[in-house]
Structure 1
């Protein structure tokens, strides 16, 4: 059945509180949305194995994962965009020259090229354990997203690897996807494949990797804790992620 509307939710700083959990008010709001035939969809830089607790807590079954590289609708895979192996190999060589470690993302696992302090800081920041090491995972399985683990030196990579898009997503990392890859691209593919181009779309976000997503939906809602550039693109600004911002934002834009 075609939904009456679709609402996309970023996770960190948006649907998740600072304790990396979904608030009771948000769980209730998502339940209300589904009762009104409005489909809530997670739109995140994370992969599926990182968000199992969110799916369980919310009952959500649709995900734009890894910044648009892997898309599920109602539990079914509708779009994937694996990264070219030779391009990963070249970037891996570049990171080694700069003493920067990487993480490889499939839909089911994360593996690092090596353990180091920045890797530990990043995953601690997300409330996760550092991944196991397998520097050759990209030679064995499709990789949909990469992470560069670095606190500075961002400019080195875009200048040399123009076929990738680099977005700083935490103080300790850059998300890496193919050029043009984004949550917006994943949303566009979902709407196209499912025949939902005429369905009204909404999105909630807080970070720089939500900018393209805000441009891809009909109505954009920024959290109070969002970066200024995102607030400028928003139709509404709701309360922060620790103050029932999701429920309040859904009421602001008329979905509840």
Structure 2
């Protein structure tokens, strides 16, 4: 299966977890509208979305961290000065500041259509995550915008969330809000935006195709998604 599809072995493994009263949760850099097919295929109702900025448990939002409007405005102006377009992420939609070649490349890379254009979305709705669409020039941004953290997550983009924001923070907030402090936690990951998450969970499982830095932090390394990696990883850590 491709990265955007769910292996049948994963669907069956998640059903087996639920039968054991274990709650599976998706932790992702994407927003809800991008993973609707995954939620439908797996029956999952809990998500740590947009790198920890929006947390939903059993279908209900339990933690949200919208980005300050003035901070978005300032970054937008700085990006424009560098010829860089952006994308704004709410829990339900994605909008770009303009269409260009890098925007198209990025969403093609994800297997998605480029978003509609609405450069003023952040003035009208809460925005939880931003993307900078760029293939180079990353160094311009961190020192000028210290209230954001920038993570190169594809060849065509940086994920942008408030400083301190991460999947790890989303996990911590979920455990705090739901009073799950004594519940053991497990995480699968493959990318740079999974590094902090691996540091806070009890058991970290890296996919075979994970970046080397993530594999170094993993307790277990499983096969990739095309080779039943979720099922095998759950077996490795004793959950199946």
Question: For 1:128 and 1:156, how far apart are their aligned partners in 2?
Answer: 28
Map of 1:246 onto structure 2:
230
Map of 1:40 onto structure 2:
24
Q: 1:70 aligns with which of 22, 32, 54?
A: 54
Local SS of the residue matching 2:138: coil
Q: Does 1:155 align with 2:155?
A: no
Map of 1:169 onto structure 2:
153
Question: For 2:204 and 2:41, how far apart are their aligned partners in 1?
Answer: 24
Q: 2:127 aligns with which of 128, 143, 152?
A: 143
- The gaps in structure 1 that reach 5 residues or longer are 1-16
Larger relative contact order (CA 8 Å, sep ≥ 6): 1
Map of 1:232 onto structure 2:
216
Q: CA deviation at 1:69?
A: 0.3
Aligned pairs for 1:164-243 (under 5 A) are 164-243=148-227
TM-score (normalised: structure 1): 0.93
Q: CA deviation at 1:18?
A: 2.5
- The gaps in structure 2 that reach 5 residues or longer are none
Q: Does 1:121 align with 2:111?
A: no
Map of 1:54 onto structure 2:
38
Q: Contact 2:3 / 2:225 at 8 angstroms: preserved in 1?
A: no
Local SS of the residue matching 1:38: coil
Q: Does 1:22 align with 2:6?
A: yes
Question: For 1:190 and 1:60, how far apart are their aligned partners in 2?
Answer: 16
Local SS of the residue matching 1:67: coil
Map of 2:239 onto structure 1:
255
Q: CA deviation at 1:178?
A: 0.2
Matched residue pairs, number?
240
Question: For 2:71 and 2:9, how far apart are their aligned partners in 1?
Answer: 43
Local SS of the residue matching 2:132: strand
Deviation beyond 6 Å, 4+ runs, structure 1: none
Question: For 1:125 and 1:174, how far apart are their aligned partners in 2?
Answer: 14
Q: Render the CA deviation track for 1:115-155: whole Å, top value 9, x for unaligned.
A: 00100011111111100000000111100000000011111
Q: Render the CA deviation track for 1:11-69: whole Å, top value 9, x for unaligned.
A: xxxxxx43510000111101101010111000000000111000000000000000000
Local SS of the residue matching 2:24: strand
Q: 1:19 and 1:230, CA in 2 relative to 1: closer, same or farther beyond 3 A?
A: closer
TM-score (normalised: structure 2): 0.99
